[in-house]
Copies of this chain bind each other. A is one copy, B any other.
Amino acid sequence: MKLAIYGYGNLGRGVECAIHKNSDATLVGIFTRRDPKTVRPLYESTPVYSANELLAHKESIDVLILCGGSATDLPEMTPALAEHFHVVDSFDTHATISKHFDRCDAAAKAGGRIALISCGWDPGLFSIARAYASAVLPGGAAYTFWGRGISQGHSDAIRRIAGVKDARQYTVPREEALAAVRSGQTPALTTREKHLRECYVVVEDGADTAYIEKTIKEMPNYFADYDTTVTFLTEEELRREHGGMPHGGSVIYNGRTGKESEHGHTVEFRLSLDSNPEFTGSVLVAYARAVDRMAKRGVCGCKTVLDIAPGDLLMESAEELRAHLI
């Protein structure tokens, strides 16, 4: 399959890496809205084109992987491109997935294309874990814990405070909540009881650290509802100790069976990721394969990960999978 990348930040680099790990995939190129001369791909062999040239490459691209952000890029980008290409995006604003779906569905159907949206690990693999568990054990309780990992949105919120030079924020699940849910309990957990927030902050010379710490801890939506720790450190320490992009988490589902609901069952799906964008990029490439196959079977319209059979994600044939994987 011939894949192309649209947008080249951390996620785009993750997709570029992932394509090199999949022997049935070739990378047609990166399409960027910046000046292509300023973009340095990870692999020298990767062509870089201007986004303006995209339509001229229409015939040579099987699936276009969209690596824009969910806040402003994807709500416009995915419907606009789904009319011309089979596309995969990682739209992750849970509250507006239905609206995004409807717009992408109309565009994809108009062009006879497939638009697979909200792909990655949450939404994505975590959605799938919630789906399997609640299908098998209806009426149970689902818990999603995130971390320990870097939240880009929370890190950015800290960086916007006056006097802050750089920052990283870790979302950390509370061990006592994890342990209770893993043991089969179904507690009602508040936001504060599920996660902690750890902030590592570099300040400008002479900045008021007491003010910065207070501003972080009282920030509505981002930090006010959590127990938050703030640690000030040097730029060098931040780069050395907190330079990576790890993430992960767990979906844990507790349900009951038996005539008197006397038997409890715990289903857990857990990810521990050294690089959030590289793992997410790898998920997008696996789903691009499924989109390519479904397109060849004549499918069109908007799809989510819940519409894709797991066998379509794998390089191996159905016969090989029955013989070796099932």
Contacts and interface: CB of A to CB of B under 8 A. Distances in A.
Interface of A: 14, 17-18, 20-23, 42-43, 94, 97-98, 101, 118, 123, 125, 127-132, 134-139, 184, 257-259, 262-275, 278-279, 281-283, 286, 289, 304-311, 313-315, 318-319, 321-323, 325-326
Contacts of A318: 306-307
A270 B271 contact: no
B131 A314 contact: yes
A136 B311 CA distance: 12
Given A263-B275, A268-B270, A138 B21 contact: yes
Nearest to A284: B136
Given A136-B283, A278-B258, A268 B268 contact: yes
B310 A17 contact: no
Contact of A310 (B132, B282, B323): B132
Given A14-B257, A257-B14, A279 B308 contact: no
Contacts of A309: 306-309
B259 A275 contact: no
Contact of A267 (B262, B271, B322): B271
A282 B127 CA distance: 20
A289 to B, nearest CB: 8
A129 to B, nearest CB: 8
A304 B272 CA distance: 29
Contacts of A20: 259
B279 A271 contact: no
Given A135-B286, A273-B265, A311 B322 contact: no
Contacts of A43: 259
Contacts of A321: 131, 304, 306
B267 A325 contact: no
Contacts of A281: 257
A23 B319 CA distance: 36
Contact of A313 (B129, B132, B267): B132
Given A131-B325, A306-B310, A271 B266 contact: yes
